[in-house]
């Protein structure tokens, strides 16, 4: 804890780039980018003061897997993709208290395949599937009673 740091008790963004992160390992080596102080326990055994409160993603693919601190038998998996130059984040939490183990893989979107499914890149070709008046796939036998 460095009360003299100009960003003491403020949110600081640290860009890790495209990589695989083990949040447990990251927490141990976390260093304030302003005062360069590391994440160590306090003199009386207090928890380290630098916290991971959120993760954010811009123009990348990400996959996360982990186990919760309160239920280590429960495995959590999630993935996503961002592509519109906007920052996507999760709910702010204390990662140490919530996660027993959390690993996040962040990678660059493959330009050959990553943009094909965006609405702006879809061709305006008629669909092969015929739709009924409710927008559902049309079944040629659905009118038979």
Query: Is the per-residue pLDDT at 137 higher than 80?
Result: no
**Element containing residue 78 per DSSP (H, E):** strand 75-81
Burial of 92-116, coded b for 16+ CB within 10 Å and e otherwise, reads: eeebeeebeebebebeeeeeeeeee
- The answer to whether 23 touches 48, Cβ cutoff 8 Å, is no
The whole model's pTM is what? 0.64
Average pLDDT over residues 41-70: 81
**How many other C-beta atoms are found inside a 10 Å radius of the C-beta of residue 60?**
18
Give the model confidence (pLDDT) of 91-120 as tens digits. Answer: 777 777 888 899 999 998 876 665 555 555
For residue 26, the surrounding DSSP H or E stretch is helix 23-29
- If phi > 0 it is left, if psi is from -120 to 50 it is alpha, else beta; for residue 85 that is left
Q: Residues 24-29: contacts with CB within 8 Å, 24+ apart?
A: 24/101, 24/102, 26/52, 27/52, 27/95, 27/96
């Amino acid at each position: 804890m460095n009360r003299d740091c100009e960003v003491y008790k403020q949110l600081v963004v640290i860009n890790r780039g495209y990589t695989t992160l083990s949040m447990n390992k990251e927490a141990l080596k976390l260093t304030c980018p302003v005062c360069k102080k590391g994440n160590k326990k306090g003199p009386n055994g207090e928890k380290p003061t630098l916290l991971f409160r959120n993760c954010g993603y811009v123009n990348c693919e990400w996959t996360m897997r982990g186990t919760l601190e309160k239920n280590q038998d429960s495995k959590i998996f999630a993935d996503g993709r961002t592509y519109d130059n906007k920052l996507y984040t999760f709910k702010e939490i204390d990662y140490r208290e919530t996660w027993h183990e959390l690993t996040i893989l962040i990678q660059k979107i493959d330009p050959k395949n990553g943009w094909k499914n965006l609405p702006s890149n879809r061709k305006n070709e008629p669909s092969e599937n015929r739709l009924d008046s409710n927008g559902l796939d049309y079944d040629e036998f659905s009118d038979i009673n």
